[in-house]
Structure 1
Amino acid sequence: MSKYQMYIAGEWVDADSSDWLDTMDPYRGAAWAQIPRGRSSDVSRAVAAAKEAMTIGPWATMSASQRGRVLRNIGDAISQNAERLAEVEVRDNGKLLAEVQGQLSAVAECWYYYAGLADKLEGASIPVEKPNTVVFTTREPVGVVAALTAWNSPLWFATVKAAPALAAGCAVVVKPSEFASASTLELATLMKDAGMPAGVFSVVTGLGSEAGAALVEHPDVAKITFTGSDVTGAKIAEAAARTLKRVSLELGGKSPNIVFDDADLDLAATGVVSGIFGAAGQMCAAGSRVLVQNSIKDELTEKVVNLARNIQLGDPMDPRTNVGPISTPPQYQKVLDYIQVAEADGARCILGGKPAAGPGITEGQFIEPTIYTDVANDMRIAQEEVFGPILSIIEFDDEEEAVRIGNDVAYGLVAGVWTRDVGRALRMSKSLDAGTVWVNTYRMYSYMVPFGGMKRSGLGREHGREAVYDFLETKSIVMSTDINKPSNAFVMR
């Protein structure tokens, strides 16, 4: 069994408590590694090191171009060690090796992107109406950043939070999910070797209720960035408000994937399957509600069922596998509970609806790809995030009804629209409550494209140029050039 240490202030350390947590292999159903159970004292050490590093340490005195070179070195290290990183992440959370390998290519490119952006975060000269006055702005790092990441894509989440924060000149303390911390700790090793100064990037492992809460509440943390459930996100926002910390939240979704009668139905059916059964449905952007125009409901449903029926479940390391296990025991039980809820509410199961069994999947946490019809949008299965391979098919008549049903949830992360009509695509994109609208595609991400949600799906945006501004303060400098002429002390200039 592997045994990891935390990475704090440039050193590998055990938790002060000397306690450990098992991390499970969801495919084999057994512990494969241990991580330290960090608590408030460990968090305090990491935050103190981060504050020192970005105020009086070498990170504070580096030029933006020098910081960018360190970030580029990290991208190189990830590219050179992608195979090992992918294997560790798959072992920890059961995601497909093929998907993680592809994602790691984007992870490296994301570091390159923010490396290039580091020395282009410019201020402005403002030609104010006041005579004999020069005004300009600068952009300065907001302070120590707490990054709390989820178990379904740990390396991606650590990257899209840390890379822009580091490009801005901040120092970062990451608290990964206790269910999947190993790959983030492996990343810390690469960052140290890439020349990241001590204290600028630390990883504290442990439970959310202990290490996570201590990090959120620490008075020297200036900014919190979190990926996870909307319930936890709301608690973090409430705690952060007590000390007026900045917060960005990438939360859940109950996303509509809307198929019109003029769509290419083969293309749409593939997009539907990808949107809900990819990653076993364990993604915030899952297209868990498929809205289908009445005239094509039966035809599309048949295509989706045929594709889903042939999904290969099994070892996530095996290239023949399409869908791996549910990543954590609590999530596995949650998905099973929602199957019972759906049936109690009157939804009709036409595929799956139970734990999967068979050769190669007897030890893991597998659930059959599951499809429900006769779903009303007010059912719990259509309103609440399941985070598993469960699809609800809902009918609609026209654009107006599709928008009404699509928006009739508490979330607003993404939406999909399938149509050949460009005008309709633009009208739907404007009308849907979603931070991202995919047209004739689904699950298309880029580190260059802002990503985030509306309503209970979160606050702020990750990815792209917009993300880095969340880690910066704008400072205005106002200078008078008329130093020989006294002004009236009691009149505002």
Structure 2
Amino acid sequence: MEATKSIFIQGEWLESESEETLTVVNPATGDQAGIVGFGDGRDADKAIDAAHAAFASWSQLTARERSKYLYNLYELVRNHRDELAELISLEMGKPLREAKGEVLGAADNFMWYAEEAKRVYGDTVPSSVSNKRIMVLRQPVGVVAAITPWNFPVNMAARKLAPALAAGCTVVWKPAEGTPLSAIRLFQLFEQAGFPKGVVNMVVGKPESIGQAFIDNPKVRKIAFTGSTRVGKLLMEGAAKQVKRVSMELGGHAPFIVFDDANLDAAVEGLFESKFRNCGQMCISANRLYVHEAVVESFTEKLVERLKKAKVGDGRKKDTEIGPLVNERGLNKVLDHIRDAMSQGARVAHGGSRLTDGDYGNGFFIEPTVLVEANEEMKIVYEETFGPVIPVIAFKDEASVVTMANNSNYGLAAYAYSENVSRCFRMAEQLEYGIVGINDGSPTQTQAPFGGMKESGIGREGGVYGMDGFLETKFVSITV
């Protein structure tokens, strides 16, 4: 099979400098899904040069003109949602229903920022000197290097590229090497939308080499990254040498709290949405389940009954609710967390094993798993698992559970279920997380800010807040 070109620079599809290729594997079947070109830092430098050359003309277009390109892209992505969803499911296992939702979310981002481009306002400020006038201008940062993960390959790109382009920046995108097929198709739609040459560029390739090019090349003025906290720290350290701007959406370890006055049925569905959607491979997935001791048994029973009904399988089958893990490394980490918890006294209330019979044999499938009698010494309670496993910890009172929930270096998302209005407000205020879902297991929306506290990141994506990281604030003083 001939390799598909995966490097898009200056409006052209190119071979990689190294001429290396990457084989993409379907995690549900183990079958080859495609072969693509695989670039490195040399390709990234060429893409950066193209973006830098295009910046002057793109940034000087009117906001309305930039908006038209983004709106064209919105329509194309929406019209090709089924095709993009099938590629996402093929290369990383996501159920088709979820994959279509992701693509529509990406389209919403392109539409939102097509409109937001026209709302980048400056200010006039009253001067304390009678013969001076003060203006505040908002101008694009420059060339943006964007790095995105495999778990939401299309929407994560949209959340970075859409506001960057709307602000007047040009971009170089490095998609995850695990999901290049949907990335290539998305960039074919960028090309079809008519963006001027050099404004949008893509390099699929070696993470370390490309990341180093983004750090070292002074033409890159901003790095926008979603991924692990470990890699985020390395990028921040490198960016500091040139004082590059960064935005970081990093790891999470979300607590999910169920109080004794909660609607338990609603809480079970909220937990299923938060924990088991995308096979638990989300940075905002619930990782620790805290249930009040008065309802822990009844809630666990309801949760187990829900999981017994959940269909695990190939994401491309219509009845699949939970797909495979993305690769063997991810599978082994989940199994390690289960073994570690059991060695320290946890019991398996449901699941706990890899699925290998029949159609599961060549894929990376695991049973959705509930571990009871968990404690804070277990890996699964302090490390991000990224899989369909939830540990259950009973708690006695509100103060103690808030302390346990906040006992983490992460601060991305948290969830709490209660019918007590006063308690709901206390949880919203006291939980040290950038996103808090109160009686809501799926709180993200295009127009809302997305990002974390502590080691979960810097900056926010989404809504009007998503533009800030791509704009410089310039003060102009004029003597009259």
Would you call these one fold, judging by a TM-score over 0.5?
yes
Deviation of the 1:2 alpha carbon: 6.9
Does the 8 Å CA contact 2:59/2:140 hold for their aligned counterparts?
A: no
Match in the other structure for 2:95: 96
Deviation of the 1:13 alpha carbon: 0.3
Does the 8 Å CA contact 1:416/1:439 hold for their aligned counterparts?
A: yes
Does the 8 Å CA contact 1:35/1:206 hold for their aligned counterparts?
A: no
Does the 8 Å CA contact 1:149/1:227 hold for their aligned counterparts?
A: yes
**Distance (whole Å) between structure 2 residues aligned to residue 13 and residue 308 of structure 1:** 46
Deviation of the 1:333 alpha carbon: 1.9
**Distance (whole Å) between structure 2 residues aligned to residue 444 and residue 145 of structure 1:** 28
Does the 8 Å CA contact 2:348/2:371 hold for their aligned counterparts?
A: yes
**Distance (whole Å) between structure 2 residues aligned to residue 62 and residue 467 of structure 1:** 20
**Distance (whole Å) between structure 1 residues aligned to residue 211 and residue 97 of structure 2:** 31
Q: How does 1:66-81 map to 2 (within 5 A)?
A: 66-81=65-80
Match in the other structure for 1:489: none
Match in the other structure for 2:54: 53
Match in the other structure for 2:40: 39
Deviations 1:393-438 (A, max 9, x none): 1111111011001001111111111011111000011000110111
Mean Cα displacement is larger for which, 336-345 or 305-314? 336-345
Q: How does 1:24-173 map to 2 (within 5 A)?
A: 24-55=25-56, 57=57, 59-173=58-172
Match in the other structure for 2:212: 213
Deviation of the 1:276 alpha carbon: 1.2
**Distance (whole Å) between structure 2 residues aligned to residue 252 and residue 440 of structure 1:** 23
Match in the other structure for 2:260: 261
Match in the other structure for 1:20: 21
Does the 8 Å CA contact 1:260/1:419 hold for their aligned counterparts?
A: yes
Structure 1 gap ranges (5+): 482-493
Does the 8 Å CA contact 1:2/1:32 hold for their aligned counterparts?
A: no
**Distance (whole Å) between structure 2 residues aligned to residue 313 and residue 439 of structure 1:** 28
Structure 2 gap ranges (5+): none
Q: How does 1:218-233 map to 2 (within 5 A)?
A: 218-233=217-232
1:301 matched to 2:287: no
1:395 matched to 2:390: no
Deviation of the 1:378 alpha carbon: 3.4
Aligned residues: 479
**Aligned with 1:150: secondary structure?**
coil
Match in the other structure for 1:246: 245
Deviations 1:56-104 (A, max 9, x none): x4x2332111001110000011111111111111111111111111222
**Aligned with 2:231: secondary structure?**
helix
**Distance (whole Å) between structure 2 residues aligned to residue 209 and residue 61 of structure 1:** 33
Deviation of the 1:379 alpha carbon: 2.2
**Distance (whole Å) between structure 2 residues aligned to residue 333 and residue 8 of structure 1:** 37
Match in the other structure for 2:195: 196
Match in the other structure for 2:456: 457
**Distance (whole Å) between structure 1 residues aligned to residue 369 and residue 380 of structure 2:** 12
**Distance (whole Å) between structure 2 residues aligned to residue 255 and residue 178 of structure 1:** 26
Deviation of the 1:328 alpha carbon: 2.0
Counterpart residue identity of residue 97, structure 1: L
**Distance (whole Å) between structure 2 residues aligned to residue 294 and residue 15 of structure 1:** 58
The sequence identity of aligned pairs, in percent, is: 38
Match in the other structure for 1:4: 4
**Aligned with 1:3: secondary structure?**
coil
Does the 8 Å CA contact 2:356/2:362 hold for their aligned counterparts?
A: no
**Distance (whole Å) between structure 1 residues aligned to residue 317 and residue 39 of structure 2:** 34
Deviation of the 1:444 alpha carbon: 2.8
After TM superposition, where is structure 1 displaced by more than 4 Å over at least 4 residues in a row? Answer: none
1:345 matched to 2:383: no
**Aligned with 1:392: secondary structure?**
strand
**Distance (whole Å) between structure 2 residues aligned to residue 216 and residue 308 of structure 1:** 44
**Distance (whole Å) between structure 1 residues aligned to residue 42 and residue 50 of structure 2:** 13
Match in the other structure for 1:487: none
